[in-house]
Amino acid sequence: MTRVLVLTAVDVEARGLAGHLGLERVRQSAWPHFGAGALEIACVGLRASQLPARAPELGPFDVVISAGACGALAPGLAAGELVVPEVVVDAAGRRWPTTSLRRVAAAGTLLTVAEVVETSAQKSRLWLETGARAVDMESAHILDWAATRGVPAAVIRGVSDGAERGVPAALAASVRDDGRVRPLRAVTAALARGAAFADLLQLRAGTEAALKSVAGALATLARHG
């Protein structure tokens, strides 16, 4: 049996994927951590900042998957569409090829950045500069961590926000570095600007669609190894 370690940035992603896949909470962990059979899911914070501290609690694994939501850079990528890149790049131009996964086809490039991309204009610039189909804040860190351990790694993400919209800074600030979402802060930020509340609702719906797609791909991976 191939043991798959799935790492997410945010607690909402870890809980959502675990719910779709029917995984139980690992009781001894103080942070979102789930597992059953071949799959283990752990939240490792924004930019994978909590991964070094939480790694000792993780079980043995044969492949690492960076999973969760991402933002589209390429026009035409809709909320809920899967992004499974062949290569991950970062802002410094470093590249990490991903391992191939059975029955989950890979294509294109994903860009990892240090900060939330707030506007469609920023997304357009990143797409033109890098050619990446989508953007996140963790995959390069996760693939680099896996590479230092000699473990193959891949990315399975779903689009939460299309190329025509970014993630407002006020909403992004509702997520702590450890991956915990502060709902009250998110709602307060949204209510402070009329348009931001609509942004919040749309981002929530997009994230739910993204996680459903990612969970389907992970289920396929678990079944076929």
- pLDDT tens digits, one per residue of 93-108: 999 999 999 889 999 9
Query: What's the confidence (pLDDT) of residue 2?
Result: 86
Residues of the chain with pLDDT under 70: 168-174, 182-198, 225
Give domain 4-224's CATH number out of 3.10.105.10, 3.20.20.80, 3.40.50.1580, 3.40.640.10.
Answer: 3.40.50.1580
Contacts of 87 by beta carbon, 8 Å cutoff, 6+ apart: 95, 96, 97, 98, 108, 109, 110
Among left, alpha and beta (phi > 0; psi -120 to 50; other), residue 153 is: beta
Query: What's the confidence (pLDDT) of residue 183?
Result: 57
What is the average pLDDT value for the chain, to the nearest integer? 90
Query: What's the confidence (pLDDT) of residue 204?
Result: 84
Tell how strand 39-43 and strand 95-97 pair up. unpaired
Residue 208, CA atoms < 13 Å, CB-side half-sphere: 6
**What is the pTM for the complete model shown?**
0.92
User: Cα(178)–Cα(105) distance, rounded to whole angstroms?
Assistant: 31
- Quick check: 149 and 186 in contact, CB under 8 A? no
Query: What's the confidence (pLDDT) of residue 201?
Result: 74
